[in-house]
Amino acid sequence: MSTMNFHLRLWKQKSAADKGEFIKIHATEIPSECSFLEMLDIVNNRLTREGKEPVSFASDCREGICGTCHMVINGVPQGPGRGAACQVYMRKFENGQTITVEPFRVGAFPIVKDLVVNRGAYDRIIRSGGFISEHTGGAPDASTSLIPKPVADAAMDAAACIGCGACAAACPNSSPMLFVGAKVTHLGLLPQGQAERKSRARNMVRTMQEEGFGNCSNYYACEAVCPANVPASVIAMLNREYIRGEVSQTVGAID
Amino acid sequence: MILDAKIPEGPIEKKWTSFKNNAKLISPANKRKFKVIVVGTGLAGSSASATLAELGYEVETFCFHDSPRRAHSIAAQGGINAAKNYQNDGDSVWRLFYDTIKGGDFRAREANVYRLAEVSGTIIDQCVSQGVPFAREYGGELTNRSFGGAQVSRTFYAKGQTGQQLLLGAYSALSAQIGLGRVKMHENSEMLDLVLVDGHAKGIVTRDLVTGEIKTHAADTVLLCTGGYSNVYYLSTNARGSNVTATWRAYKRGAAFANPCYTQIHPTCIPVAGEYQSKLTLMSESLRNDGRVWVPKAKGDTRNPRDIPEGERDYYLERKYPSYGNLAPRDIASRSAKEVCDEGRGVGPGGLGVYLDFSAAIARLGEKTIRERYGNLFEMYGNITGENAYERPMRIYPAVHYTMGGLWVDYNLMSTIPGLHVLGEANFSDHGANRLGASALMQGLSDGYFVIPNTLGEYLSTQFGKKVSTDMPEFKKTETEARAFVEKLLAVKGNVPVDEFHRQLGLIIWDECGMARSEAGLKKAIADVRALRERFWKEVAIPGTGAELNQSLERAGRVADFLEFGELMCIDALTREESCGGHFRVEHQTPEGEALRHDDRFAEVYAWMFQGEETAPELVREPLNYEAVHLATRSYK
């Protein structure tokens, strides 16, 4: 197995209240087969042996589905290639390359420590409407409603969002509308989601604005970095749903 | 102590109904007076939190993740079983029950398994109503696929991301309740200990992982939904954070730990590549629907797989188990892979791999269909290995994936500590010695959505007028002990990173308590784990303080528990002198090398009770009485 060397610039910041800075680390003899996060593990374990504090970063499943990991690698949220940061492999980099790693820079995601930010705002958006109010029990047989495959597939593509926050981190406006649109599209396409369709879009957009996020102005940066391949068309759907909801409410329509 | 499983009377197909007809109810006016603590937000924890809050209980939910949407249920790929018989292929509740009992090698509790099969269909109904986008046919009907250990197609799926979609469904139900103020959610909160008042579970101690604050929370009952302990092996398909801490600390407070040696080694994972590796990645069992497993017939054949002619390949699962073929259950498929690799016929670096070949399926169905079915898995494989599985067979090898053992629970899902309920993978009850594919999601959601809401009243109805508060001395004392544990870790001030100990523990357990176990090996493992534990408490390095986000400290606490738990696991494996399911004792095998059970001595649950740090645990047995099925030798030939 061959090894590689890298010049790392890693962001260190004790808390949101403290000032942050890049530290420089020469990461030598990194196995070329390892993943980006495994490279950070190696660096952190070396720092620990030297009695220094490792760099905090979040990760859990390490297979790209849980959405825990989040960082900006060489300017790209979640790093080069498709997938979350845990899906980046060192063979994608040049030997000797300088790699800059920093946290998501989004006002609504305050820094916790080093590369870790607080993305609770995304949960609060979901809590304001990203669901179907179906209490447990009493659901009709699953075969009752027929959902054509193209509709089910489109709902699934939107539902694939992993809630990592890369969309807001990539957007010059810090807009999470790919995230919000993904949920509004997923539920809005399905027959089960119709009852709360209009209030859902209105409520989620309102929370999004209260949390301090911006709106979409069609940069498409979110779509370019989304680890789950959520298409930007969900934002168009969100806009439509939102307008329908607002108009209905303004004119006092029952539906 | 006698373990009373509280199994309802009556024939098996009537037990759950008769239980519900006679169960203790808590009236709507009284439900809001009871507070429930739920620890963990995977499928079991989220579904239980949401459902209990909908019913009117006051719920406080805790997870160590930064959001309740991240628990490792999310990574389940293949699907969820349900006895819907939408395919008209002869499925029924009975068949799902029987397949699960047989799949578990007749080491699970009949009544629990039947109930699981019975509610399986309702889970699908519930999920569809929540908007879970299961795969469908062009006409709009739900579609199914097959999984190991079954001869019917009863598995519902959402691409290769079924766990994600089911968890997000439960998360959305939970989110709705949080939004309504009916669930108080505590993220970044790790449970450090369980608080007992008069022997009843009445609260927990948590550490806020961001601020380091340690505090106590009181309730009328506690639900542990904290998953399994696969990470005792260090390398597993579990998420990095998955741990045994909550269940282990409950064990040390008196909850019996049942069958810890029952672990599942999943046959289709990407092989280990090097020491730097932090986790293993599963390739869904659903791939075995269309992939054929083989190795070269000759030892040390290093030719490109495409250059090896058909006649020189050994499709060993199809050869040994013609009726189930590539869909043989997990324990059997894993052991067979180990066998051919031990014979020197493994492929890839180190000879620890077998081929999973899609060329026949691609020729039959076209690449487009295969891409539609498994696209994300092929992509994941390509990303990790740099190889294209459409052109070259995947290389796979077994890896630790799931743990059937867990805290002992009765039919009501209550542990041996009154008031402590345990749901999902964290309990031991439904999978026996081996879990069938697509049954973990079913069990997590069954426990959370449909079982605990019905069984919780049995306990709570005895708890009127027994309110506790965190001001009580029991809470202060447990908090002080939890604090002392954290301080003890920080005081070691060694220079060896936590990961180092974890990796070494994993190697010991994998070698001696993995796919094949022997008396000598297990004894050696017990001694090695003890020695490693001693070194840990002298040499572990934890930079930083306890009053901040400190990931080394988090991991150290979990590894300290694994270092104790690993020993119990080996003790259990040593005591169970038979082979069953995932537990394969080399001394107990048939002439063909299949698992050899000893039903006369071991048709029992082994539950271990903590007796103190320096004292051996006490073994308590629950006999498994099979009334509905006959114990049979499991055959998939």
Concatenated DSSP letters of chain A: --EEEEEEEEEE-SSTTSPPEEEEEEEEEEETTSBHHHHHHHHHHHHHHTTPPPPP---SSSSSSS-----EETTEET-SSSS-GGG-BGGGS-TT-EEEEE----TTS-EEETTEE--HHHHHHHHTT-S----SS-PPPTTSS---HHHHHHHHHHHT----SHHHHH-TT---HHHHHHHHHHHHHSGGGSTTHHHHHHHHHHHHHHTT-----S--HHHHH-TT---THHHHHHHHHHHHHHHHHHHT---
pLDDT tens for A26-36 read: 999 999 999 99
B330 is catalytic: yes
Whether residues B270 and B378 share a domain: the answer is yes
AA identity, residue A7: H
Percent with pLDDT over 70 in chain A: 99
Closest approach of B22 to chain A, Cα-based (Å): 19
Report CB contact under 8 Å: B278, A122: no
DSSP string, A70-105: --EETTEET-SSSS-GGG-BGGGS-TT-EEEEE---
Kindly give the interhelix angle for A177-189 and A197-210, rounded to the nearest 10 degrees: 170
Q: Which residues of B349-370 are buried (b: 16+ CB within 10 A; e: fewer)?
A: eebbbbbbbbeebbeeeeeeeb
CATH of the domain at B542: 1.20.58.100
B599 touching A (Cβ < 8 Å)? no
Nearest residue to B561 (alpha-carbon basis) of B234, B192, B245: B245
- A146 at B interface, C-beta within 8 A: yes
- Give the C-alpha separation, A104 to A94, whole Å: 24
B420 close to A (CB below 8 A): no
Does A64 sit within 8 Å of B380, measured CB to CB? yes
Residues B127-175 pLDDT 10s: 999 999 999 999 999 999 888 888 999 999 998 899 999 999 999 999 9
User: What is the rounded distance in angstroms from the CA atom of residue B406 to the CA atom of residue B564?
Assistant: 15
Q: Does B28 touch chain A (CB under 8 A)?
A: no
Which of the four pLDDT bands, split at 50, 70 and 90, describes residue A1?
low
CB contact under 8 A, A136 and B449: yes
CA distance A29 to chain B (A): 11
User: Which parts of B73-199 are beta strand (E)?
Assistant: 80-81, 155-156, 183-186, 189-197
- Rounded Cα gap, residues A215 and B5, in angstroms: 56
What tokens does A57 get? 């970063």
Interface of B with A in 169-188 (CB under 8 A): 171-173, 175-176, 178-179, 185, 187
- In which residue ranges of chain A is CATH 1.10.1060.10 found? 119-133+143-251
| Together in a domain, B384 and B479 | no
Comparing alpha-carbon positions, the chain A residue that sits nearest to B127 is A142
Average confidence score pLDDT of chain A: 96
Record: contact B142-A87, CB cut-off 8 A: no
Chain B contact for A18, CB < 8 A? Answer: no
Q: How far apart are CA A191 and CA B519, in angstroms?
A: 58
DSSP count for chain B of H helices, then E strands: 18, 21
User: What's domain A3-113's superfamily in CATH?
Assistant: Beta-grasp domain (3.10.20.30)
Residue B131 near residue A186, CB atoms below 8 Å: yes
Segments forming the whole domain that contains residue B565: 473-598
Which chain A residue shows the shortest CA-CA distance from B383?
A87
Distance between CA atoms of B605 and B288, rounded to whole angstroms?
31
Chain-centre distance for alpha carbon B79: 15
Q: How many distinct structural domains can be found in chain B?
A: 2
Closest Cα of chain B to A36: distance in Å? 11
Categorise residue B571: left if φ over 0, alpha if ψ from -120 to 50, beta otherwise. Answer: alpha
Are B387 and B497 within one domain? no
Domain boundary among B369, B400, B431: B400
CATH number at residue B344: 3.90.700.10
Residues from chain B that touch A145, judged by Cβ atoms under 8 A, are 128, 140
Q: Which of B124, B239, B241 sits opposite A142 (nearest CB)?
A: B124
Q: Which residues in chain A are contacts of B51 at CB distance < 8 A?
A: 135-136
Q: What pLDDT does B246 receive?
A: 98
B607 to chain A, closest Cα gap in Å: 30
Cβ atoms within 10 Å of A94's Cβ, excluding its own: 9
Which of B67, B134, B543 minimises the CB distance to A119? Answer: B67
CA–CA gap between residue B105 and residue B264 (Å, rounded): 13
Query: A130 and B172: CB-CB below 8 Å?
Result: yes
Q: Is residue B356 part of a domain?
A: yes
Q: Which residues of chain B lie closer than 8 angstroms to A18, CB-CB?
A: none
Contact A15 B241 (CB under 8 A): no
Do the beta carbons of residue B596 and residue B590 sit within 8 Å? Answer: yes
Burial (Cβ within 10 Å: 0-12, 13-18, ≥19) of residue A138: exposed
The interface residues of chain A toward chain B in range 206-235, judged by CB-CB distance below 8 A, are: none
Tell me whether residue B371 is in a domain: yes
CA B409 to centroid of chain Cα atoms: 15
Choosing from B95, B115, B253, B330, the catalytic residue is: B330
Terminal Cα distance for chain B, rounded: 41
Structure confidence by residue, pLDDT tens digits, A70-102: 999 999 999 999 899 999 999 999 999 999 999
Which tens digit of pLDDT belongs to each residue from A173-220?
A: 999 999 999 999 999 999 999 999 999 999 999 999 999 999 999 999
Residues lower than pLDDT 70 in chain B? none
- DSSP-derived secondary structure for B538-581: HHEE--S-SSS--HHHHHHHHHHHHHHHHHHHHHHHHH--S-BT
Question: Hey, are the CB atoms on B274 and A127 less than 8 Å from each other?
Answer: no
Instruction: Specify the CATH number for A119-133+143-251; select among 3.40.50.10070, 1.10.1060.10, 3.40.630.30, 1.20.120.140.
Output: 1.10.1060.10
Residue span(s) of chain A under CATH 3.10.20.30 come to: 3-113
d(CA A102, CA A110): 13
CA distance linking residue B510 with residue A181, whole number of Å: 45
What DSSP designation does B607 have?
E
Q: Which value, to the nearest 10 degrees, does the dihedral of the CA atoms of residues B139, B163, A122, A160 take?
A: -40
C-alpha angle B440/B126/A123, rounded to 5°? 80
CB B59 within 8 Å of CB B84: no
The answer to whether residues B363 and B477 belong to one domain is no
Contact B175 A60 (CB under 8 A): no
- Secondary structure of B3-63 in the HEC alphabet? CCCCCCCCCHHHHHHHHHHHCCCCCHHHHCCCEEEEECCCHHHHHHHHHHHHHCCEEEEEC
Assess A21–B contact: CB distance below 8 Å, yes or no.
no
Mutant choice from A49, A61, A71 vs B, greatest count of B C-beta within 10 A: A61
Last residue of a domain, one of B368, B400, B432: B400
Cα dihedral B347→B348→B351→B356 (10° resolution): -40
Contacts of A134 in chain B (CB under 8 A): 126, 129-130, 173
Task: Give me the pLDDT at residue B350, please.
Answer: 86
> In terms of DSSP bridges, do strands B354-357 and A3-12 run parallel, antiparallel, or are they unpaired?
unpaired
What ipTM was estimated for this complex?
0.98
A159 closest CB neighbour out of B165, B178, B453: B165
Identify the pLDDT of residue B376: 81
Contact A131, B172 (CB under 8 A): yes
Under 8 Å between Cβ of A43 and A190: no
DSSP structure class, residue B118? H
Of A14, A63, A82, the CB nearest to B281: A63
Q: Residue A176 has what pLDDT?
A: 98
Q: Count contacts between A and B (CB, < 8 Å).
A: 224
| Residues of B whose CB is below 8 A from A49 | 495-497, 541
Identify which of B50, B74, B497 has the shortest CB distance to residue A61. B74
The pLDDT score that the predictor gives to residue B472 is 98
